[in-house]
Structures are given as structure tokens and as C-alpha cells.
Chain A
Amino acid sequence: MTQTLKCDPNIEKPDDFYEALIRLHDGLTQEQSRDVNARLILILANHIGDKDVLQEAFRLARNVY
């Protein structure tokens, strides 16, 4: 069954999440932040796993350029 990317709100406690996301980078240089972001993308991508969902997510992310 083809899964689709969720675009409706699905994040628990959105403000808590947002602050945690910014805090994640406290004290890091730009390069270090880049490395942490790269790790985070791979970790979350693996958790999702589904090829079609990931492809849709990539497309949406790239949509701005």
C-alpha cells in the first residue's frame, strides 16, 4: 500500500518541539550544526523508512529552489 507524506499537523506539543529543535544547536558552530542536522535527517529518514514518503518529503523540501 502506498503511504503518503503527512502534511496535517502531527507534531506533539509543537511549541515544545520547536524550542527543542533550536536548543539542539546551542553552543554549536555552523559546521557542527550542519553535522548534527545531517545525522538527524538520516536518523529520522530511517524511522520513516517508506520510499514514497521520503521521496515526497524530498520533493517538498526542494520546492523552494
Chain B
Amino acid sequence: MRKAREMLKTYQYPEFHYTRSPDQDAASPVHHPVLIVGGGMVGLTMALDLRLKGVPAIVLEQGETVSDGSRSICQAKRTLEIWDRQGAAAPMIEKGITWKIGRVRHGNRELYSFDLLPEEGHKIPAFVNLQQYWVEEYLIDRLSEAGGEIRWRNKVISLTPTPEGVTLEVDTPEGPYAVTCDYLIAADGARSQMRRELDLPFKGQVFNDKFLITDIEMQADFPSERWFWFDPDFNPGQSALLHRQADNVWRLDFQIGADADNEEEMKRENVIPRVKAMLGEKTPFELEWISVYTFQCRRLEKFRQGRVFFIGDAAHQVSPFGARGGNGGVQDADNLGWKLDLVMRGLAPGSLLDSYDEERVFAADENILNSTRSTDFLTPKTPVSRAFRDAVLSLAEDCPFARPLVNSGRLSLPATLRGSSLNTPDEDVFAGAMEPGAPAADAPVRHKGRQGWLLDHLGGGFTGVFFGDSGALPASLEMEGLAIDVLAVGQNGLEDTKGWLANRYDGQPGTFYLIRPDQHIAGRWRHCDQVKVHEAMRRALGKI
């Protein structure tokens, strides 16, 4: 539930316009391979992914501008890596606020601090804070550049699955029209109309505690860190958060309890004293945005319903502590895009699309678990739960053991798709954090004399990363109708300038990694046995 106030002064909403499509004048409904309902950050990522693979996915968006209000801020490393692969990340990183340190306080005393990217040698930072409206503007720019199509003021009013695909009725300012598609991707957010059209239960937990968020414009010397308080003097018995966004806009978040009166809390004359109490009387600021929210952690039982795929908040909702909402949704799009592309090209069986459901339900459950745990810690539901929560906080000041128990949000980390049916389990022993199902870790590399990054070399299709000389294996392996680019890490190939690549991958000589188009690891071996690699390819394509 959100109630909104204030118009943003630091941001000018772009105006996009409805234009009549030839589909609206066709004698019978025009057929498209893929339609995407919803042009928010997840729908746009989906459209971009497919468009860059040559799939002409069309976005149907009911509005005519970008995300209204103050919503997603913390864009995570993995999300940015996906956008970087799509050529959209550079302006976001430029505009946004890079951060990795968080501090947690009890009262006014610091309990501990955390570093979300403790190692160097990664192209993309741990987090960049950028308001969702900026993210969407940049995605729209990139999609436009890539030749994508967004139909503004196109509101889907009915959805009918048919044996051949899906039929939609779409309303526009000039009246409705029908259109059909092979695959429909529902990216229409938390209040998804497509979910309701298919009458799908959306089950989980609702939390009653309310939170007041206010964005302020402020020139301040505070470092770009996430600051979180339990029981500060400016919000006794409750929690608070301070986080920096672009344009000198700061997000302030105050826990106000289940019984708070929304109308009262949102009045300027009640918000201003809260802000002053947190920041000090002398710090000048302007209010940009005020809203009160509650939240839920829930999901669809299955994210694939025949030819309809649910991504983002339409599929799953989480509480915001941990920044797993938008970030989870973008990873959904990343997971689905390459699979749809290969199925549509006849290079993988239709059943590969079931793995989207398998893998992303798994990831959503991880996000829901973490978000729920954070929420329970922040808003204990029973007196005994509160007693334990307060015990953790009181012990954490003096006893290091209690600090890992303090949960003000477990920040989004890339989901390792452990146990996925597309993974080939290890036969050999490997050290380090990489494993089948994990997203490939970045590392600095030198290629043809130029300094760069491993991830820039992964992700067009399937890739092999081979720890050995480039002469030892062919530059490309042909398997299952696809060409696997082989990147040799060593002489005449990718130079592992600091040795971190070999370190992160336990890349002993001869080691071969098979990596999927979404940069997740499909399998790895101590030697490139082509029979085994072939089997792993078949498995990754859903053929076995």
C-alpha cells in the first residue's frame, strides 16, 4: 500500500506519447512473437534483452512516462552487470551514487559496519544508488537506440490463452484493438492485471508495520554509506534509514508502527520535525517526496503459465530491506531472455522454458526468505520475538558474536542457481566461490594489449573459459547447433593480469568452464573433455 504526496522538484518527468499503431487498423489481429505487458524497469530490461538478441519484443505500457514516485534506489552489482552487457549501465553508474559500506547503529552507538565488495578487481561496484525514474529513462534511451518499440497508453484489458498463443485486447486513447503473440511476458508489477486475468493466487505474508519514506534534497557532507539505526533518539523504539541518491536527493525512512495514522504522518508539518531531529536543526533541506508504505513477501506458485511468463513484482513481492525487489526482477528477465530466444530459434526444446520457473522460483524464495527474516527482526511480531531482538541489539555493542545476528537487511547478492536441472554437478574438486549455477565472477584481464574485464567477454551466447594457451583448443566449439566461443586464459588469449581470475575460478592449468549466455556457470572440469562438455550443453539447453 502506498500513499503519495509531493511533486519531485529535482526531476523532470519525460513525456512520451501515444501513437497509433498499424495493428489498430489491421483487418484481423496482428501476430507478434513476444509481447511484454509493463514498461517498468523489469519490462524494459526484458525488452532490451530480447531486442539485442534479434527478437522483436514489443512493450505495451499503460502510462506515458517513467516510474512515478520514489521507489527502487539500490541497483545491485549483478543487476548493473546485466545492464552493462546490454550497453545501458554506463550512464547509470555515471549519474548514480556508488557505495559499498553500511553502518548499523543502536541508539547513537555504532554496532558494526559492513563492506559489500571487500575485494578489488571488479568492473562494476557493489551498489549504485539511482532513482528508478532515472534507471527507466536510461533503459528507454538504450531500447530506442537498439530499435525497440514501446507502445505508450496501451493498456491490456484482457488476456486469453489460445492453443496457438495468447490473444490480448488492448485499450488506447483511440479505442481498443486485439493483438496476438506466441509468448506473453507479464511485467506489470505488484498489482499485476495479468495475474488477475488468469485468476492466480498470490500468496505470502503481509506485514502490518508502517514506514514513512521521505526523499529530501540536501547538500550534505555525509558519506555515501547506508546508515541504519535501531532505536535512535530521533525515532525512539523504532528504526530509521538514511541513504543517498542522485541529484543530492536523500532517502529517509522511518519506522512508524502498525497503528500510525497515514494522513497525519504525511503532513509536511509532521515530517519536517522528523527530518530535523535526524539531521540536526541547522541542515537545510527541501522535501521532495513523502509516502507511507506497508509491504508483503509473497509470490505466484509458478512463474510460467503456459505461454505467459511472469517477471518482477508481477511474479513476486518482497519487503524493501535488502534491495531484492527490482534487483530480483532484472535477474528474472536475464534468465528468461536467452531461453526464449533459443526456443524460438528451434535450438532448444520448449521445456527449457520450464527452467525459468524452476530457477527463478528458487531465487525468489531466497529473496523472500531473506526479506522476511529482516522484516521479522525490524518488526517483531510477538513479545518474545521482540525480547530476542532487543537482546541481540543489547549484546551486539559489547559482544562481537551478536553482531551477525543484527538484521537490518541482508543486501541483495547475485543468486546462485544451486541445484538447477540445467547445471552439471562438479566431478572434480574446486576451491573458491565459483560453482555450477553461480554467476561468473569478474576479474581484470588484458586482451590484445588492452586492459579490460572478464565479464565483457562473456554473454553473447555460450562461452568456454579455458585455463591454457589459445592454441590448445579451437577458438570455437560447435555443439547442438551453437558456436561456443572459447576464451583461453593464458598466452595469446586473455591475460590474467593480477592472477585474480585464476584465483577466483581455481583455474589450475587445463580447467574448462562452460558459461551460459546469462553468465551463469553451467559446468566445469579439470580438462576439456568434449564429450562431457557436450553433455553439459545438452543439459543447459534442457535436452536432458
Question: B16 in the interface, Cβ–Cβ < 8 Å?
Answer: no
Question: B392 in the interface, Cβ–Cβ < 8 Å?
Answer: yes
Q: A42-B402, A42-B405, A46-B401 are in contact. Are A34 and B394 (CB under 8 A)?
A: no
Chain A residues near B388 (CB, 8 Å)?
A: 38, 41-42
Cβ-defined contact, A39 with B384, below 8 A = no
Question: B206 in the interface, Cβ–Cβ < 8 Å?
Answer: no
Q: Which residues from 15 to 65 on chain A have a C-beta closer than 8 Å to any C-beta of chain B?
A: 34-35, 37-39, 41-43, 46
Question: B209 in the interface, Cβ–Cβ < 8 Å?
Answer: no
Q: A34-B384, A34-B387 are in contact. Are A39 and B394 (CB under 8 A)?
A: yes
Q: How large is the interface on A (under 10, 10 to 19, 20 to 34, 35 or more residues)?
A: under 10
Question: B391 in the interface, Cβ–Cβ < 8 Å?
Answer: yes
Residues 431-442 of chain B, each 1 if its beta carbon lies under 8 Å from chain A, else 0: 000000000000
Chain A residues near B399 (CB, 8 Å)?
A: 43, 46
Q: How large is the interface on B (under 10, 10 to 19, 20 to 34, 35 or more residues)?
A: 10 to 19
Chain B residues near A37 (CB, 8 Å)?
A: 387
What is the distance, in angstroms, from B386's C-beta to the closest C-beta of chain A? 9
Cβ-defined contact, A38 with B391, below 8 A = yes
Chain A residues near B392 (CB, 8 Å)?
A: 42
User: For the complex, would chain A's binding face be called helix, strand, loop or mixed by DSSP majority?
Assistant: helix
Cβ-defined contact, B401 with A35, below 8 A = no
Question: B506 in the interface, Cβ–Cβ < 8 Å?
Answer: no
Residues 389-411 of chain B, each 1 if its beta carbon lies under 8 Å from chain A, else 0: 01110110001011001000000
Cβ-defined contact, B391 with A39, below 8 A = yes
Closest to B389 in A: A38
In this complex, which of B391, B392, B395 has the most chain A Cβ atoms within 10 angstroms of its Cβ? B391
Chain A residues near B387 (CB, 8 Å)?
A: 34-35, 37-38
Chain B residues near A46 (CB, 8 Å)?
A: 399, 401-402
Cβ-defined contact, B384 with A42, below 8 A = no
Chain A residues near B390 (CB, 8 Å)?
A: 35, 38
CA distance A39 to B399 in the complex (A): 11
What is the distance, in angstroms, from A36's C-beta to the closest C-beta of chain B? 9
CA distance A46 to B391 in the complex (A): 13
What is the distance, in angstroms, from B502's C-beta to the closest C-beta of chain A? 33
Chain A residues near B384 (CB, 8 Å)?
A: 34, 38
CA distance A15 to B172 in the complex (A): 81
What is the distance, in angstroms, from B462's C-beta to the closest C-beta of chain A? 38
What is the distance, in angstroms, from B485's C-beta to the closest C-beta of chain A? 43
CA distance A42 to B392 in the complex (A): 8
Q: Which residues from 366 to 391 on chain B have a C-beta closer than 8 Å to any C-beta of chain A?
A: 383-384, 387-388, 390-391
CA distance A12 to B136 in the complex (A): 65
CA distance A46 to B395 in the complex (A): 12
Closest to B394 in A: A39
Q: A34-B384, A39-B394, A42-B405 are in contact. List 10 more A-B contacts (CB 8 A).
A: A34-B387, A35-B390, A38-B390, A38-B391, A42-B392, A42-B395, A43-B395, A43-B399, A43-B401, A46-B402
12 chain-A/chain-B pairs, Cβ below 8 angstroms: A34-B383, A34-B384, A34-B387, A35-B390, A38-B387, A38-B388, A39-B391, A39-B394, A42-B388, A42-B395, A42-B402, A46-B401
